[in-house]
Amino acid sequence: MSVVPRIARIIPQGTITRPETGLPVIARLRWANGEDVDVAAVAIAWTRVAVEIRWLHGTESRTDWIAAADVRRHLADPPADTDRPPTSRGQIRKNRW
């Protein structure tokens, strides 16, 4: 029997969104011994408070629900400024508040 990693998990609540393909992310795993580790993962589903990730533990592929605050997007090659569409604003407006 394989060893199950002891990480902080969360129970998803609310509507679960499942895209056709997962999104690459960096997930912070909070281990039971108090150590926090960032791992490369794929977000395969999410709610407002939780994200289901697929990640590797050794050679084993695992899926776990973790807190959404512990997940951030990972962009290997961010788009260049020239690839972004032009803005329709001619000037920067300051907010009134």
Query: What are the pLDDT digits (tens) for 37-86?
Result: 999 999 999 999 999 999 998 888 999 999 999 999 866 655 555 555 55
Residue 7, pLDDT score:
87
φ and ψ at residue 43, rounded to 5 degrees: -80, 120
| pLDDT mean over 1-20 | 83
Asked if the structure places residue 94 within a domain, the reply is no
Query: What are the pLDDT digits (tens) for 25-39?
Result: 999 999 888 888 999
Expressed as residue numbers, the domain containing 16 is: 1-76
pLDDT confidence bin for 12, thresholds 50/70/90: very high
Going by DSSP bridges, is the β-strand pair 23-30/71-73 parallel, antiparallel, or unpaired? Answer: antiparallel
Asked if the structure places residue 81 within a domain, the reply is no
Find the CATH number of the domain harbouring 34: 2.30.30
Q: How many domains does the chain have?
A: 1
Asked if the structure places residue 87 within a domain, the reply is no
Asked if the structure places residue 83 within a domain, the reply is no
For residue 73, which of 49, 41, 96 has the smallest C-alpha distance?
Answer: 41
Asked if the structure places residue 67 within a domain, the reply is yes
